[in-house]
Structure 1
Amino acid sequence: MGIITFVLALYAGDGQLLIYTAPAWASAAALTWFPVGGRKAVEWVPVVLHWLLRLLGGQTMYRRRVVKPRPAGTLALPGDAAALREYLDPETGAVMVHDPHAQTLTVILPVTHPAFVLLDPLQQERRVTGWGRVLATMCRSGRIARLQVLERTLPDSGAGLAQWWAEHGTDDGSWAARTYGELIDRAGPAGERHATTLSLALDMKAAARQIRTAGGGLRGGAALLRQEMTTLVTALRTADLKPGAWFTPTDLAVALRSAYDPGVANSLDRLGELGIELATAGPVAVDESWDRLRTDSAHHAVLWISEWPRALVFPGFLAPVLLSTGIRRAFSLVCTPIRSDQAARDIRRKKTEYVSDAAQRQRIGQIEDAQQSAEYQDVLQQEADLTSGHGVLRYTGLVSVSAPTTDELEAAVSAIEQAAIQASLETRRLVGQQAQAFTVAALPLARTI
């Protein structure tokens, strides 16, 4: 816009017209070239405008209407997640989340695995290879919209330790038995546990023909998604991962409630018959500010992993972030498969651009730097992986940090940022879109931002 204004003023009049239009093209040049907070000023324009529109329209505040019931089948979530619908699969008993706007159907699977960092390097390499095969399997059908890996830290109520002691312990009244029982009673509620889930989202647009063949609508989509579910479970078992039972409405209700209201997580764990209704699992109140989010009993902040490691790292490089203790956080890795033909075209385009740029640099006598060579080697490695049967995916990493107060939240965010530096990651705090980012980072719904 600045160039167009400058050229029109130059050809339409003399230098005086350039002076009159200087505020327009000078402001455009400033927005284009001057950075603010790590991004060019022009990149902040849509974020700020969208935030102001939502602020003026009252979209940054949510309150549950207790008297007015919600329509049946909805998830009672705020924001753009209010359109999500639940569908109970009659064959598997799994709850499927339907997004009518994005045309996706999502199912959630809990996964358990041994401690990766405690394995020897050969076992780690074997598991990494197996996980690569899982991702390649998800790319081949062309019907998967997203695969989300969500790893959460949850407060431990101590029920698991108490149950283990009741089943395997010997409570003979001795001093050792009494001391051990007292230790379990004290340490159990103060501990934390890790939970990992995989969320598989079916692209109903890409699979429209197969869905019509299977009966159409949600029933046809569920039939098609069951095929992908079977394929995923088989691939996970081949990769030495232990898939659990697919999420039921009760499991999803507990996950949503504990994300928005961490203060009741222990009660939900101890009292298995309370807080399991999906229709009431959403938050009671949500207040969104520029750089944080407040829900029922906690303050939240979402960090975006803007830069992944630029050099070769060990398979367990995320350990400083994932194993940070004393911090309530959720790490979400959203994997978006790219079709093989599109990935091949993108790789050919990148190779052509690099070869032409290298020839131009050689012609003008410019020296090749290490960053350009590393980028070209990365493109060649992607081409080799695609040829050998692996898939090409686009990764988005988000970290949601939660705390009871704002001071504790800022301390936890600083600790996560330092842990990310140890993991060779660059994190940036999202602003103007914390509510939308929270649904992606902390909820197992395989959404995008």
Structure 2
Amino acid sequence: MSAEQVRTYGGWREAKPFGVMGMDGRQSITALVLVMAAILAGSISFAWLLIGVAVTAGYVGLAALRLHGEPVGDVLSRRVWWRWADRRGWTTFQSELTGPTASWQLPGPLAATVLVPAVDAHGRAWAVVWDRRSGRLTATLRVAPASTWLVPAAEADQWVSQWHHWLAALGHQPTMVRAAVTVETAPSPPTALAAAVLPRVDPDAPASARALIEDLVVGAPAASARVETRLSVTVDPARTTGGAPESLDEAIAAFGTVMDGLATRLGMCGVGVLGRADTDQTAAWVRSAFDPAARDEVARGGQHLTWAQARPVRAKEGWDRYRADSGLSVSWVWDEAPRQHVPHDVLTNLLGPGSFAKRVTVIYEPMRAAVAAKLVDDQVQATHFKAILRRKTGKADSARDEADRADAQRAAAEEARGAGVCSVGLYATVTVTDPNRLAVACADIEHRAEESKLQLRRAYGSQAVAFMAGLNAGVDPGLLRGR
């Protein structure tokens, strides 16, 4: 395929609320009420008018002004709440290993979760993370995506198209909440290849064959990387058509049927399914995330970790970092999608292995058809409203305003033709064991994000939630908002 025929993708758009000056509808109405109150106060006395104007200006400033892409009011509110929680010790987790008050739960958002073993229709073991607070269930598929560099560009584009259809089908599952794709990479020790290959050599094999394998291992580069790709699915049994299941076992059985259907269709997306993650595997990658120094030991297997054993001994959330056992981590959230059209391999730099352990999770939240239609129509109306408001105030549309309106209209037209609509988010986490290397690791992630045309924002005041959102344990930051 020639360079002129390379297919590109784009048109991602952040949902914009009805409102003025960057405020949403609720904030705009509140500002209008404050303006009217200031006018009424002015009829009483000039002093009351000044007070009303000051209050209105302060509110509008906090709601409309932006700091790193966020309303100033949200940043200040999060900072105040984080300091308040920190002073009360709520940002510190300490696991009591002994005594009558021993704590066996996981920290923060994972505290309400339980790892439930299950068996599918073929007798194969798998695991479900049950959030006892929300009732949601999460299971994970271990997958092996095929490399797009080994196939023609047309076939890679076909995989992207089938992935779109796979995501669109999620919106027709009444219990579906979200799907999350996680790519985790970490440097491997120089002995990793020998440890993985040599124990598997058959001692009865011909001497020449054994010698060849040993020569290949010795001659292989010392530097290597461990790469794992996982796809987790979260459902809410309470959304089941006809009523929620009567028991957890019934809910898990129904969930297993959903997982079978989803796994079957992944093959058309260029993704091979290695199987569902069982309890040992699920606990192992959570333990490795909290304690990266134990990653190699855990990877060798044979420990049969429980969910309680996956917890850290001690964890401390900072304003801009998260410390758990031997790991010091920093997490980012997706701030803005690529503005331009990009090829299918745009995320290669961000997802590829490097010198530091990192985890990138892309979350897709499908919308039901009726909800999606209303959303895209509301977005079109919002762009028209803002265009009319700008004309009334004598302001011309900027190039970005025109592009945003065109994207909103294009999304509505595509949805009307049957396309699915998803809310997409991304979380990236880098982990080091040496605090002196943290600044270099952060710079590496931010540079990779720029090469992938993404704008990331460090999750200030929400490091623990952003860290755990990528653990394939069903942690939903949106569900935790306001708690």
Aligned residues: 438
Alignment partners' CA distance in 2, 1:45 and 1:366: 31
TM-score w.r.t. the length of structure 1 is 0.88
Alignment of 1:13-52 (within 5 A): 13=45, 15-19=46-50, 24-25=55-56, 27-52=58-83
Alignment partners' CA distance in 2, 1:119 and 1:86: 39
Alignment of 1:230-245 (within 5 A): 230-245=260-275
Is 1:446 equivalent to 2:474 in the alignment?
yes
Cα deviation for residue 191 of structure 1 reads 1.7
Q: Structure 1: which 5+ runs fail to align?
A: none
Cα deviation for residue 356 of structure 1 reads 5.2
Residue in 2 that maps onto 1:144 = 176
Residue in 2 that maps onto 1:79 = 108
Alignment of 1:281-360 (within 5 A): 281-355=310-384, 357-358=386-387
CA contact (8 A) 1:344 1:383 kept: yes
Identity score, percent: 22
Query: Of 396, 400, 416, which residue of structure 1 is paired with 2:429?
Result: 400
Residue in 1 that maps onto 2:142 = 110
Query: How big is each residue's C-alpha offset from its partner over 1:267-296, in whole Å with a ceiling of 9 and x where there is no partner?
Result: 1223x2126233311111101111000111
Residue in 2 that maps onto 1:273 = 302
Alignment partners' CA distance in 2, 1:331 and 1:82: 23
CA contact (8 A) 1:171 1:177 kept: no
Residue in 1 that maps onto 2:239 = 206
What value does the CA root-mean-square deviation take over the aligned residues? 3.0
Structure 2 residue identity aligned to 1:182: V
Alignment partners' CA distance in 1, 2:384 and 2:424: 26
Distance 1:161 1:371, change over 3 A: farther
Query: How big is each residue's C-alpha offset from its partner over 1:68-99, in whole Å with a ceiling of 9 and x where there is no partner?
Result: 5899xx98310121011222224452211111
Alignment partners' CA distance in 2, 1:105 and 1:377: 38
Q: Which moved more, 1:169-178 or 1:203-212?
A: 169-178
Alignment of 1:405-416 (within 5 A): 405-416=434-445
Residue in 2 that maps onto 1:437 = 466
CA contact (8 A) 2:105 2:311 kept: yes
Alignment of 1:57-96 (within 5 A): 57-68=88-99, 76-91=105-120, 92-96=124-128
CA contact (8 A) 1:70 1:76 kept: no
Alignment partners' CA distance in 1, 2:56 and 2:383: 33
Alignment partners' CA distance in 1, 2:116 and 2:213: 48
Query: How big is each residue's C-alpha offset from its partner over 1:300-359, in whole Å with a ceiling of 9 and x where there is no partner?
Result: 000111001011100111111111411210001111111100111112222334445556
CA contact (8 A) 1:75 1:84 kept: no
Cα deviation for residue 217 of structure 1 reads 2.3
SS, match of residue 245 in structure 1: strand
Distance 1:20 1:397, change over 3 A: closer
SS, match of residue 468 in structure 2: helix
Query: How big is each residue's C-alpha offset from its partner over 1:121-177, in whole Å with a ceiling of 9 and x where there is no partner?
Result: 112101101111211221112210111111101343323344576699975499977
Alignment partners' CA distance in 1, 2:57 and 2:406: 40
Distance 1:357 1:16, change over 3 A: closer
Query: Of 278, 288, 307, which residue of structure 2 is paired with 1:258?
Result: 288
CA contact (8 A) 1:263 1:297 kept: yes
SS, match of residue 12 in structure 1: coil
Alignment partners' CA distance in 1, 2:50 and 2:275: 70
Alignment partners' CA distance in 2, 1:291 and 1:302: 8
Alignment partners' CA distance in 2, 1:358 and 1:33: 18
TM-score w.r.t. the length of structure 2 is 0.82
Alignment of 1:374-385 (within 5 A): 374-385=403-414
Alignment partners' CA distance in 2, 1:357 and 1:283: 49
SS, match of residue 209 in structure 1: coil
Distance 1:375 1:274, change over 3 A: same
CA contact (8 A) 2:171 2:367 kept: yes
Residue in 2 that maps onto 1:249 = 279
Is 1:193 equivalent to 2:229 in the alignment?
no
Cα deviation for residue 218 of structure 1 reads 0.9
Cα deviation for residue 362 of structure 1 reads 6.8
Query: How big is each residue's C-alpha offset from its partner over 1:206-242, in whole Å with a ceiling of 9 and x where there is no partner?
Result: 2273433xxx121221122122111101111232321
Distance 1:342 1:46, change over 3 A: same
Alignment partners' CA distance in 2, 1:118 and 1:161: 25
Alignment partners' CA distance in 2, 1:428 and 1:301: 11
Alignment partners' CA distance in 2, 1:25 and 1:364: 20
SS, match of residue 276 in structure 1: coil
SS, match of residue 414 in structure 1: helix
Cα deviation for residue 119 of structure 1 reads 3.3
Structure 2 residue identity aligned to 1:129: S
Distance 1:116 1:356, change over 3 A: same
Alignment partners' CA distance in 2, 1:67 and 1:22: 59
Structure 2 residue identity aligned to 1:308: A
Alignment partners' CA distance in 2, 1:168 and 1:317: 47
Distance 1:292 1:8, change over 3 A: farther
